[in-house]
Amino acid sequence: MPGIKLFLVGLMQALLVLLVAPLFAGLTRVLRARLHSRKGASIFQDYRDIFKLIKRQEVVPAQASWVFRFTPYVVMATTLLIAMVIPILTLQSPLGMAGDLIAVVYLFALLRFFFAVAGLDSGSGFAGIGASREMVLAILVEPTIILVLFVLALLTGSTDLGAISQKVAFGSISYYRPAVWLGMLAFAVATFIETGKLPFDLAEAEQELQEGPLTEYSGRSLAILKWSLSMKQVVVIALFLAVFFPFGSAAAVSTSSLLVSAAAFLLKVTGFYVIAALMENSSARLIIYKAPEVTWLAFGIALLSFVFYLVNV
């Protein structure tokens, strides 16, 4: 029975991410407009855009293969699966052993692989450049995330994300350890880059690449991809919160505790988006050749975290 309850919690998590992702994308627009002293679009504009796109005719490039057609569904399904695996509402992974951090890293890699290959498969030059930038970012950022998760796994003695959340929530892993707060800093930078915001919106770069890998998508497929990408942002932030700020997550499965943890999760994600909006709107987009300078710095901090773990500081 506990397994069934946790599985239902996983479904709730996926549904929560599915429903609130466009809202947070709208919040980003509103914050950007306010910081630019503009009125801007409604916070619900992304919901309207998605439903409008779903009703529109879909055009597929003649040279595109099944990869192009199926990628929107693969990306959305993979994102929903990650949302079910990560301990968002509880201190346990809803899918048990599937909540292994290595599995989550591979799921993120699968999502990015299909997204990039679909851009190349479309035959568009703009989409191809966007796809190549997506892969470059993956090569630059993923080692940082993997190294920080590896340090946390060593501190916990387990690669289970739920076990890591519990150790952090109950104070078994102290924030005073340099290995922890350095890892937190590196992971925060990697999370900000993964959300695709300025100055790291290199793959889409709307002004010069016309949304990169999304260039040739239209109609329902474009709606699903836009929805999935906003969900991916929430899921990446959720992973960061699950391993470093699991406070408010339910220790036991009950209706009241789940409602409290859902409210705490939404507040924490809102806080992240507000901080990200301040950073995003105080900087200009980097050119692709400048990105490694920042990402190598983040990896260096993660490496320093690993060194501090080795010397037990």
pLDDT tens, position by position, 143-199: 899 999 999 999 998 888 989 999 998 888 888 888 999 999 999 988 988 887 777
Domain count, the chain: 1
Q: State yes or no: cis peptide before 246, omega within 30 of 0.
A: no
Domain of residue 241: give its range: 4-311
Residue 192: which of 236, 148, 132 has the closest Cα?
236
Contact between 250 and 260 (Cβ < 8 Å): yes
Assign 2 a pLDDT band (cuts: 50, 70, 90). Answer: low
260 pLDDT more than 80: yes
In this predicted structure, what is the pLDDT of residue 73? 94
Taking only the tens place, the pLDDT of each residue in 71-122 is 999 999 999 999 999 999 998 888 877 778 888 989 998 988 888 888 888 8
Q: Identify the burial level of 104 via C-beta atoms within 10 angstroms of its C-beta, where 0-12 means exposed, 13-18 middle and 19 or more buried.
A: buried
Distances (CA, A) of 80 to 160, 206, 305: 19, 26, 31
| Across 232-236, average pLDDT | 93
Burial of 101 (0-12, 13-18, 19+ CB in 10 A): buried
* Under 8 Å between Cβ of 116 and 131: yes
